[in-house]
Amino acid sequence: MPVFSQSSTIKPKRAQLDRSVAGAISAQAPFERIKHYLKSGLATGVWPPGALMPSESELVAQFSVSRMTVGRAIRELQQEGLVERTQGVGTFAAELHRVSSSLTIRDIHEEIVGRGHVHRATVHLKRAERASASIAKRLDVKLNSVVFHTLLVHHENGVPLQCEDRFVNPICAPDYLSVDFTEVTPTHYLFQVAPLIEAQFSVEAGLPSSREAKLLQMSAAEPCLIVSRRTVNRDTPITFARLVHPASRYQIDSVFKPY
């Protein structure tokens, strides 16, 4: 169950009608064909990592296109991290050393529904509180000032999957407490109310608190995957959330497929 999707999202590039007569096989745009040609060579080892690849002028001659078209194809490969270019020298097949696959974190509702399952949320706490020291710091508000606090459990097909402990800055979402979170997730609501400028994540392992273990119907000794998220809107922290998932029911999957 892939929680995360890979980063190389292929755009819905529609296959535009070919302008030339010889477009029997490939209905792709020329720059797409060149990209595909180069990607194939990279994938099959024609140009192993570090190898010098064809110059733009060579590709211009080979494909009978203008340099702009070749340039766009190569530039997009560069942006995808598949080739490296040096002005005055040439284009080289990238060392895929830094296997940094990027994992995409999504809203829990989208995630569950995307798997074709049923999402249900139960609200266990929804109130205004005085900010403790750590919360005040994270939300950049004064100590003991009023903040909103919610505690939800998200279920997938009836099984508790995530315990969401969230603090919200009232400045950003004054009506937060009047929302029915069995209908819309806090994440979704906050996105509508306060556009996001920056988000900080951390992923770690840990043990649930006794209350969290009870809410998640799990042993207090079982490890959890804990995602902490803090979102900021132009110098104003919006919210801080601690998302606790039982290890046995949750893992992050990802596939890195460069070519």
Partner DNA sequence: TAACTATACTTGTCTAGACAACACTATGCA
Partner DNA sequence: TGCATAGTGTTGTCTAGACAAGTATAGTTA
Chain position carrying tokens 């990209």 = 35
String of contacts with DNA for each residue 74-93, x by CB under 7 A = xx--x------xxxxxxx--
Contact status: 67 vs its own copies (CB under 8 A):
no
Tell me the C-alpha distance between 191 and 140, whole Å.
19
Q: Which of 92, 207, 209, 236 binds its own copies (CB under 8 A)?
A: 207
Indicate which of DNA, its own copies, none lies near residue 31 (CB less than 5 to 8 Å, by partner kind): DNA
> Could you say which residues in the range 38-57 bind its own copies, by CB under 8 A?
43-45, 48-49
Contact status: 254 vs its own copies (CB under 8 A):
yes
Q: Is 160 helix (H, G, I), strand (E, B) or coil?
A: strand
Closest CA to 105 of 257, 250, 222, 237: 250
Indicate which of its own copies, DNA, none lies near residue 82 (CB less than 5 to 8 Å, by partner kind): none
Contact status: 251 vs its own copies (CB under 8 A):
yes
> And the tokens for 223?
């490890």
Q: Which of 1, 46, 51, 118 binds DNA (CB under 7 A)?
A: 1
Q: Which of 12, 48, 116, 158 binds DNA (CB under 7 A)?
A: 12
Residues 124 and 151 sit within 8 Å (Cβ to Cβ): yes
> Could you say which residues in the range 17-46 bind DNA, by CB under 7 A?
17, 19-20, 29-32
Indicate which of its own copies, DNA, none lies near residue 197 (CB less than 5 to 8 Å, by partner kind): its own copies
Closest CA to 189 of 238, 141, 223, 225: 238
Task: Give the CA distances from residue 129 to residues 69, 134, 150, 212, 238, in Å, rounded to whole numbers and listed in that order.
Answer: 59, 13, 10, 19, 16
- Amino acid symbol at 81: G
> Could you say which residues in the range 106-145 bind its own copies, by CB under 8 A?
106-107, 110
